């Protein structure tokens, strides 16, 4: 284990100090022990981003195992012994440098972690249609109804192009109503949306906000990136990836807010209430990535408000946006 640690540390130190080394500009020599060394030849520095994904512990262990088992024996002036059925070969180069070579590509098969930031917009459907068609008071503005999500994500390779994204986090819904003077309340018959018609007030905003704790589980297919999670600012992302899976959340807060000016003073009336909102939400999430850009769509399969009282509007919320 100590030798592996020294090997990895020496390798990355060698990469960092490469421009100052006394060898060739594209060669790094790592001294490992009294009579052992490893020589890396890097012809294109663009390979560094790929090398960072390699499991060098697995590579080093494989080489040592092969030496111990005498499965590969090839030295100067000795015929090279190869096993055609093996997916990789490790041989001595028949030259003065006695360099080790490996044709095996090592990729990490371990679960990796990242933090996702979802930024997008909210809306909801009523019987498959937007409430705009009936001019309902709970109609929302498409721009200004924000969705924000922060999730701790694990990326677990499964097989081939398939990997699993699963995580826990929080999200915030904000539905900004089309009419700035909408006031929310509730009675025994259900949630109530009404207009405040006070002529002394100049209304500028009315909205409903909710916060949730969430979990999701998304099987993903990655065509070219080997399950590596890219970032929006990373131009080396995989070509195309897509996934669909379930999510669920538990509401931890909700309130309405109306903003207006009265006698020249800005006022904010906030009402913390459950407004017959569902405590749980669950639905389907779709993720789509092209190179360094990842998009998401969430659709709640259950309704936003409880089904009782019966006067509550039957709304299914959805959100969409970009993943950072």
Would you say 252 and 211 are in contact if contact means Cβ atoms under 8 Å apart? yes
The radius of gyration computed from the CA coordinates of the chain, to the nearest angstrom, equals: 29
Centre a 10 Å sphere on the Cβ of residue 181 and count the other Cβ atoms it contains: 19
Residues 121 and 87 in one domain: no
For the cut 60, the answer to whether the pLDDT of residue 176 exceeds it is: yes
Number of domains in the chain: 2
Would you say 157 and 118 are in contact if contact means Cβ atoms under 8 Å apart? no
Which residue is it, tokens 């709970």? 138
For the cut 60, the answer to whether the pLDDT of residue 95 exceeds it is: no
Domain boundary, last residue among 101, 135, 161 = 101
Residues 173 and 150 in one domain: yes
Residues 87 and 154 in one domain: no
Give the span between the Cα atoms of 11 and 8, in whole angstroms.
5
| Residue 300 belongs to a domain | yes
Specify the pLDDT at position 66.
76
Residues 194 and 309 in one domain: yes
For the cut 80, the answer to whether the pLDDT of residue 279 exceeds it is: yes
3-state DSSP assignment of residue 88: coil
Banded pLDDT at 85 (limits 50, 70, 90): very low
| Residue 108 belongs to a domain | no
Centre a 10 Å sphere on the Cβ of residue 223 and count the other Cβ atoms it contains: 12
Residues 54 and 166 in one domain: no
Range of the domain at 123: 116-323
Centre a 10 Å sphere on the Cβ of residue 130 and count the other Cβ atoms it contains: 14
- Tell me the two tokens of residue 305: 């408000």
Q: What is the pLDDT of residues 124-161, one digit of tens each?
A: 999 999 999 999 999 999 899 999 999 999 999 999 89
Residues 47 and 73 in one domain: yes
Percent of the chain with pLDDT over 90: 57
Residues 187 and 242 in one domain: yes
Q: pTM, whole model, 2 decimals? A: 0.66
Residues 78 and 140 in one domain: no
Domain boundary, last residue among 101, 130, 155 = 101
For the cut 90, the answer to whether the pLDDT of residue 90 exceeds it is: no
Residues 139 and 279 in one domain: yes
Residues 92 and 150 in one domain: no
């Amino acid at each position: 284990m100590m030798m592996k640690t020294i090997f990895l540390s020496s390798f990355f130190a060698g990469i960092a100090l490469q421009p100052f080394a006394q060898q060739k500009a594209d060669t790094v020599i790592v001294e490992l022990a009294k009579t052992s060394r490893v020589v890396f030849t890097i012809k294109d520095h663009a390979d560094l981003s790929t090398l960072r994904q390699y499991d060098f512990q697995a590579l080093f262990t494989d080489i040592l195992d092969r030496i111990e088992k005498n499965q590969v024996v090839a030295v100067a002036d000795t015929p090279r012994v190869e096993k055609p059925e093996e997916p990789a070969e490790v041989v001595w180069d028949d030259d003065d440098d006695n360099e080790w070579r490996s044709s095996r590509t090592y990729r990490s098969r371990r679960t990796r972690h990242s933090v996702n930031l979802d930024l997008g917009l909210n809306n909801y459907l009523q019987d498959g249609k937007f409430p705009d068609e009936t001019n309902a008071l709970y109609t929302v503005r498409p721009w200004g109804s924000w969705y924000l999500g922060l999730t701790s994500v694990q990326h677990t390779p499964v097989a081939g192009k398939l990997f699993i994204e699963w995580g826990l986090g929080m999200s915030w819904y904000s539905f900004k109503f089309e009419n700035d003077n909408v006031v929310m309340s509730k009675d025994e018959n259900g949630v109530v949306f009404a207009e405040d018609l006070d002529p002394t007030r100049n209304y500028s905003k009315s909205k409903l906000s909710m916060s949730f704790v969430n979990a999701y589980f998304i099987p993903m297919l990655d065509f070219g990136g080997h399950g590596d999670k890219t970032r929006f600012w990373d131009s080396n992302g995989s070509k195309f990836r897509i996934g669909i899976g379930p999510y669920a959340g538990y509401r931890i807060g909700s309130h309405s807010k109306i903003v207006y000016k009265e006698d020249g003073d800005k006022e904010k009336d906030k009402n913390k209430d459950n407004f017959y909102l569902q405590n749980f939400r669950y639905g389907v999430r779709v993720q789509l990535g092209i190179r360094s850009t990842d998009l998401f769509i969430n659709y709640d399969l259950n309704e936003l408000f409880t089904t009782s009282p019966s006067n509550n509007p039957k709304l299914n919320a959805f959100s969409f946006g970009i993943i950072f």
